[in-house]
Structure 1
Amino acid sequence: MQHPAEHSPLGKSSAYIATYSPGLLFPIPRAPKWAELGLSAETLPYRGVDIWNCYELSWLLPSGKPVVAIGEFEIPADSPNIIESKSFKLYLNSLNQSVFASREALVEVMSNDLSAAAGKPVAVRLRTLDEVGAEGVAPLPGRCIDELDVAIEHYHEPLAELLRCDAARQVEECLHSHLLKSNCPVTGQPDWGSVVVEYRGAALQPESLLAYLVSFRQHADFHEQCVERIFLDLQRLLQPEKLMVYARYVRRGGLDINPYRSTEALSVDNRRLVRQ
């Protein structure tokens, strides 16, 4: 069965169009992957957002002078569609030789185009290089589990049965790992990321979490769907009072994708990590 992205520009030779072309955006419905996880738009057990950061964004002023900025895009996790990443890049490239009267005019155009593709309002923010540079590089919160001594032999599919907890002991903690890797479901190219798990519930065995995260190493899925799978597997095991899972992925093609899924209202720190 073909992946819906097979009809997108992903993995294909593409002409790079340098003038505004919103038709380049390629939406992919979330519903089939939700169904695969036993979910629907009406039964999502989380709230969340997918934050995209764009480091290759430029357009022309009415004078013909180019401007560069860093774009931040917030796509609701319950939007009907994700936007395929190569089509997003091609769309952004189409702004390169396009004239916009002001930064505010470009924000309005992009918000309208991306909201139409996602099926829900997408927040757009354009930031100067000085603004982003002043924020510096952020560390991840909580305890890093990457130095744990774990024997691992499963790499081809996420194995929820690897996860272990002590149901008799309730804790509130935050754990993170930089060892998340999965593959693009169309091109097979690697996607590298760092993942954070913050929860209040049955005590999770950190060694089991590390082995579970590494089991994604040859798994083929998009960033958003990997995070949703991790969230659901942990929720089923821990039965937590609260749970947040998010991943900060390494940029590819000038874009990084950062899916957040949480049982609580979100407060997102979008400062980049050292690998981003």
Structure 2
Amino acid sequence: MALNDAPLGKASEYPDSYSPELLFPVPRDDNRRRIGFQDGRWPWFGEDLWQAWELSWLRPSGVPAVAWAEIRVPAASVSLIESKSLKLYLNSLNQMVFSTPAQAAEVIERDLSSASGSAVSVTLYDVDQPMMISGHPEDFELIDDEPLENVGYAYCPDELQAGGKGVTERLCSHLLKSNCPVTGQPDWGSLLIEYTGPRISRAGLLRYVVGFRQQQDFHEHCVETIFNDIFQRCDPQHLTVCARYTRRGGLDINPWRSTSAGEVPSMRLIRQ
């Protein structure tokens, strides 16, 4: 399916019956070839970690149930899932009857796995369950106040520089902004970078992050581009890049890519 067939940017009717066919997969290969990878070979592990805040179904009694979902789509899947199609699909569950939250999760896992081409995991949480919320993780250093002059707003990978003695650092910027390639709407996010290797210039890194301000791309593609640029230009021994994007339409997506396998822990930042 071509991207112009996606529901993104178009007027849509919200379904009142279960509609898994609404899920719109977007192949990952096009972007990966653009940044130099093909044939299933790339230097990262990772996931697209979604948080879905508008999720409801009916109990057998007819009384509605509500929950929020954590959805993990493997970065190795054939396709990412276009965001508006996921929103429409989740809303198609509103009048479905599930006997338990586990049954609802099982159906969502099955449908998303089929659409993405890989096993997706879904965990449902009670909306009354408290969560810790912060601006950024305590063990990350904010770089947004680095002094800069003559700031530009174009993609600028040449600004990334590293050298000297190896360090281990965790850095954060709240200044990540890109634009949806279909609608042009702004996507806002907090960028988390953890690395071991030659020290990365913070001023150069901040210029690079700000350079995404007019970039048009999907969240997942932005994160893979950032990971690849730092990996190629700064030569870290270890690298993890995660973007925590702000919520739109009841969904936020938080892709992460890393040289190490594992799982990025659940969290919610204050802008989400």
Code of the aligned partner of 2:176: L
Residue aligned with 2:195, SS? strand
Whole-angstrom CA distance in 1 between matches of 2:200 and 2:32: 25
Deviation, structure 1 residue 137: 0.3
Is the 2:70–2:123 Cα contact (8 Å) retained in structure 1?
Answer: yes
Partners of 1:18 and 1:210 lie apart in 2 by 45
**What is the SS of the residue equivalent to 2:209?**
helix
- Can you give the 5+ residue segments of structure 1 that lack an aligned partner in the other structure? none
Indicate yes or no: 2:231 matched with 1:235: yes
- Indicate whether 1:5 and 2:3 are aligned: yes
* Structure 2 contact 160–234 (Cα < 8 Å) conserved: no
Q: Which moved more, 1:197-206 or 1:98-107?
A: 98-107
Counterpart for residue 156 of structure 2: 159
SS where residue 269 of structure 2 aligns?
coil
Counterpart mapping for 1:1-80 below 5 A: 4-80=2-78
Please tell me whether residue 100 in structure 1 is matched to residue 101 in structure 2.
Answer: no
Give the secondary-structure state (helix, strand or coil) at the position aligned to 1:33: helix
Aligned length: 270
Q: Which moved more, 1:33-42 or 1:66-75?
A: 33-42
CA drift of 1:204 comes to 0.4
Structure 2 distance, partners of 1:259, 1:152, is 30
- TM normalised by structure 1 equals 0.95
How far apart, in 2, do the equivalents of 1:222 and 1:151 lie? Answer: 29
Which stretch has the larger CA shift, 69-78 or 98-107? 98-107
Matching residue's letter, 1:86? K
Task: Assess if the C-alpha contact under 8 Å between 1:152 and 1:211 holds in 2.
Answer: no
Deviation at 1:148, TM superposition (A): 1.1
Measured in 1, the distance between the counterparts of 2:211 and 2:166 equals 26
Aligned positions of 1:235-274 closer than 5 A: 235-274=231-270
Q: How many Å apart are 1:232 and its aligned residue?
A: 0.5
Letter in 2 for 1:221: D
> Structure 1's 21 and 35: CA in aligned 2 closer, same or farther, altered over 3 A?
same
Q: Is 43-52 or 3-12 further displaced after alignment?
A: 3-12
Answer yes or no: is the 8 Å Cα contact 1:18–1:98 preserved in 2. no
Distance 1:112 1:145 in 2: 41
Contact 1:144 1:176 in 2 (8 A): yes
Taking structure 2 as the reference length, the TM-score comes to: 0.96
Offset from partner CA, 1:95-130 (integer Å, 9 cap, x none)? 111112221211111111000001000000110012
Question: Judging changes above 3 Å, is the alpha-carbon distance between structure 1 residues 123 and 238 closer, same or farther for their aligned structure 2 residues?
Answer: same
C-alpha deviation, 1:153, in angstroms:
3.2
Report how far residue 51 of structure 1 moved.
0.5
Deviation per CA, 1:23-78: give whole Å up to 9, x if none: 11000100101100111252110000110000000000111100000011000011
Percent of residue pairs bearing the same amino acid type: 49
Do the aligned residues in 2 keep the contact of 1:5 with 1:84 (CA within 8 Å)? no
Q: Which amino acid in structure 2 is aligned with residue 191 of structure 1? A: D
Give me the whole-angstrom Cα distance separating, in 1, the residues matched to 2:236 and 2:47.
20
Partner SS for 2:217? coil
Query: What displacement does 1:185 show?
Result: 0.2
Is residue 180 of structure 1 aligned with residue 176 of structure 2? yes
Q: Give, in angstroms, the shift of residue 22 of structure 1.
A: 0.4
Paired residue secondary structure (1:197): strand
Tell me, yes or no, if structure 1 residue 222 matches structure 2 residue 223. Answer: no
CA distance in 1, matches of 2:160, 2:82: 31
Structure 2 residue 192 is the aligned partner of structure 1 residue 201:
no
Q: How far apart, CA to CA, are the structure 2 residues paired with 1:193 and 1:261? A: 15
Distance apart, 1:152 and its partner CA: 4.3
- Matched residues in 2 for 1:246 and 1:178: separation? 12
* Distance in 2, Cα, partners of 1:165 & 1:238: 5
